[in-house]
Amino acid sequence: MNEKEIVSQATSYVAKLLRARFGKGPESIGVFLSDKCIMFHLRNFMGPVEQFLLTQEEEKAFRHTRELLMESLLPEMKIYLKEIAGLGISEFYYDWGLHNASGMIVGLIQPIPGEPSADYEGKELLHAQIAQVTAEIQKTPEYMDSWWVAPRALAVFRQGITLLLEKEMVELGYSEVLKAAKRRLEKRKLEQEVEAGEILDKTVTDVYVDWDFDRDRSIAVYIFKEDVR
């Protein structure tokens, strides 16, 4: 199966799966595939109940509900992608853009750390700024890599960033609270203090970030405005 067929079938399957579990599927799904990951960018993905929760300032309830639903459907996605495309997904990451009802799901294909991705213009400076922001909140990453999944989607992988206090919070069962606090703070810093748009000569439209506390890893994704030049 070639890349175009994989993208087509994966798009159709994920749209149906999300609609079945959430009661409403996204308006559109952009699927990007590279040798390191498969990425699903969801647009206008918000049901009436979820909209009500957010209008009532119940973001915690919104995220908790989505967390439960995602935990149930990701194993199905993993099996499907293996069966139809031979993609061995090692782990998933996901995040939501509440300001525009968007979402991002990333499945890592290759074991990471591994062979570093190809260099691109601005990679070293971008890594330096992300490392600085990470160190301010957690600690300097023990390992970092980034790669273009598509011309408008850049994935950033970090490992070895979790503080001992954070690990203890996870052990005590506070991972959901920890993730909520980190997401609020780190997304703001990744948007405001990392000059991704200037460095890469693009316009940032969305930033997503998620963590795997057990593996001490994180994936951040920058989505850029489509280049019409």
Q: Tell whether 30 and 98 lie within a shared domain.
A: yes
Q: Tell whether 138 and 81 lie within a shared domain.
A: no
pLDDT, average across residues 111-140: 90
Considering the domain boundaries, does residue 118 fall inside one? no
38, pLDDT greater than 80: yes
Give the range of the structural domain holding residue 148, as residue numbers without chain letter. Answer: 123-224
Q: Tell whether 44 and 132 lie within a shared domain.
A: no
pLDDT band at 85 (very low <50, low <70, confident <90, very high): confident
Each as own residue / partner, the long-range contacts of residues 145-150 (CB below 8 Å, 24 or more positions apart, any chain) are: 145/112, 145/113, 145/116, 145/117, 146/117, 147/34, 147/36, 147/117, 147/118, 148/34, 148/120, 149/32, 149/33, 149/34, 149/36, 149/37, 149/39, 150/30, 150/32, 150/34, 150/39
Considering the domain boundaries, does residue 142 fall inside one? yes
pLDDT tens digit sequence for 54-76: 777 778 888 888 888 999 999 99
229, pLDDT greater than 60: no
Most trustworthy range by pLDDT among 3-12, 108-117, 206-215 = 206-215
Q: Tell whether 153 and 207 lie within a shared domain.
A: yes
Considering the domain boundaries, does residue 117 fall inside one? no
Q: Tell whether 96 and 157 lie within a shared domain.
A: no
pLDDT tens digit sequence for 198-224: 999 999 999 999 999 999 999 999 999
Domains: count for the chain: 2
